[in-house]
Amino acid sequence: MRKNQAIASLSKGAKAVRSLKKKDSPRSLSKPEKVLKALRLFATDVDGVLTDAGMYYGESGEELKKFHTRDGMGIKLLQAQGLITAIITMENTKIVARRGKKLGIPEVFQGAKDKVAVLGHLSEKYGIPFAQMAYIGDDVNDVEALKAVGYAAAPADCVEQVRQVVHYVCKKNGGDGAVREFIDRILAVKSSQ
């Protein structure tokens, strides 16, 4: 069974992994360095985060996506530090599978309608609490996942609903190095341990 099918069946009966209280609002995070040091899993959306959100089509109908090379290197740097890396996207394309494989990302979930359920699956699989997870997303379908994790970020060109719930808004846009910017922030804190 493909991961996206497994998660689809998981999310049908999924309940909220944890309810968020007002004090859990990202803007109320008092010690971000402590949270960043404790991170063990990094997850990202694709369109608008790893890509520029553009949908490119060739003459013969093939779909193309532009990925930023430095984002890929950032993911490799996180993996070298022992973090589990994951892609969680609603899209379902061979391009994403190929990018995940090239970067050695062990957890690639496509067709994910309930991203919190996917995070819950990863939490159980690796024994990592939500508080030790980071997630970067850009649009309304990412909001609940962004609220659920210990540290959340968004590209500079994210939608306003996302901007209101994340801990960090990157200076760079999606597909233009935002993921690397977020990763560099994590690595800077982790290297100061």
Structural domain including 48 reads 34-191
Q: What is the 3-state secondary structure (H, E, C) of 45-60?
A: CCCCCCECCCCEECCC
How many domains in the chain?
Answer: 1
Domain assignment present for 166: yes
The reported pLDDT for the residue numbered 15 is: 41
Residue type at 164? Answer: Q
Domain assignment present for 53: yes
Angle (nearest 5°) at CA 10 between 182 and 96 = 45
CA distance 18 to 41: 18
Domain assignment present for 165: yes
Q: pLDDT by residue for the chain (193 residues), tens digit each?
A: 345 554 554 544 444 444 344 344 454 566 889 999 999 999 999 999 999 999 899 999 889 999 999 999 999 999 999 999 999 999 999 999 999 999 999 999 999 999 999 999 999 999 999 999 999 999 999 999 999 999 999 999 999 999 999 999 999 999 999 999 999 999 999 988 6
CATH number of the domain that residue 177 is part of: 3.40.50.1000
Which CA distances in Å does 62 have to 30, 54, 77, 104?
47, 14, 31, 24
Interhelix angle 178-191/69-80, nearest 10 degrees: 30
Domain assignment present for 24: no
Domain assignment present for 26: no
Residues 114, 115, 121, 123, CA torsion sign: negative
Domain assignment present for 41: yes
The reported pLDDT for the residue numbered 12 is: 46
Domain assignment present for 19: no
Domain assignment present for 6: no
CA distance 155 to 162: 10
